[in-house]
Structure 1
Amino acid sequence: MRLLDVLRRLPQPVTATRLAAETEISLRQLYRDIATLRAGGALIDGAAGYGYTLTEDPALPPQSFSRLEIEALLLSVASLGDLGDENLAEAGRTALARIIGTLPDRQARQAMHATMHSWRPPAVRAAITIDLEILRQACWDEQSVRIAYRDRSGQRSEREIFPLGMSYSPRTLMLVAWCLLREAYRTFEVACIEELQRGDTSFRPRRAELLRRYIAVSKTD
């Protein structure tokens, strides 16, 4: 599956050396894996010294999208570089490569057409210094985090919060949370979080209720 994923993601044809490096296996093992995939039904063109091209992947069911839907997918994934962090952007690119790998040839060629790609100046955003994977995982696990936060006026505070979700925009990344210190909803600019640690308090299954209340309060403000 790792080899198939690399074949979907990288510009083709992909050399055996590059495939071996990406999957962290020897060239001999790579050739055996290519033979195994071919025996399993994967249509992989090419040979050692020329590079490999994944023509058909039996691991994924066939799909079909309109040209406008393909354009929407491409532009959405491209915008992740401005809205999110690099891990999120890379996940989007990987998912998109898998989707394109299931398209019929005509639609796959449309997805690679220059008119389907966007070019924009890089977004000007404040640098984020914390590990976003810890924060993202805490949101999924419904687990508290402890943060050290410095607001726009320079005031520093330390508190434990329930991270409810993140709001992405080209200019900043915001965290919606329930603050245990203030016992109230708070929004934090993620770039202003100086320290982040996993907490010991679970707020499962309160997350849905807390979000509903937050939305209701936001509508009345």
Structure 2
Amino acid sequence: MSAAAVAADASRPFAGLASVSIPEDTPVEGDISVPLNSSSSGGRDDDEMSTLDEPVKETILRDLRAVGKKFVHVLYPKQSSELLRDWDLWGPLLLCVTLALLLQGGAASPPGGDQGGPQFAEVFVIVWFGSIIITMNSKLLGGTLSFFQSLCVLGYCIMPLTAAMVVCRLVLLGSEGVVSFAVRLAVVAASFGWSTFASTAFLAGSQPPNRKGLVVYPVFLFYFVIGWMILTFSPAQ
């Protein structure tokens, strides 16, 4: 069989396409729409299906309310799945930036330079890199929490230490004597204990019973380092 015959046979299935025509009155435009209250929605409300038509202000307020609820869970830690189910990193980012800003301008900064630079970068490295290490350690020990769930818990539980930093800055505005140090020590110790307690309340339940100590110990060191940075902070003269 020649090449011309093979090409002719191959083109036979498409030979009828040349006679196909579309009438001029046939509409070629359409509207693709997916009803929100279809049977596949499982009976949920329209607001839960889509937020495309939601105002930007309402979206921001809804996210702020969600972040506020997670702060409440840190203040009153309990066996609740809301902090773990609806995880986010907005709260940890806000707390990290606030703590870094409060730590800038310390006496340990180099003279003549940007006094806030080293502390700001230092806080970010300790908080995020430390949280990642603790999360990886938890996963390797058989933890059931996801990577971002663990980061969410560790980040939100920095809130007591951030509040302690605010109190310490206010105390340092008055004096830097023995009484000032004693007050700051008590505040930092209380916030350190609360951060450790709140984080372990969420993380310990997701670990095997015989490995909870191996998970709590890095968390203890993580918040201890942050607490030590707050306690040893002194404003530049």
TM-score, scaled to structure 2: 0.20
Q: RCO higher in 1 or 2 (8 Å CA, sep ≥ 6)? A: 2
Larger % of helix: which?
2
TM-score, scaled to structure 1: 0.21
Q: Which has the larger radius of gyration?
A: 2
Larger % of strand: which?
1
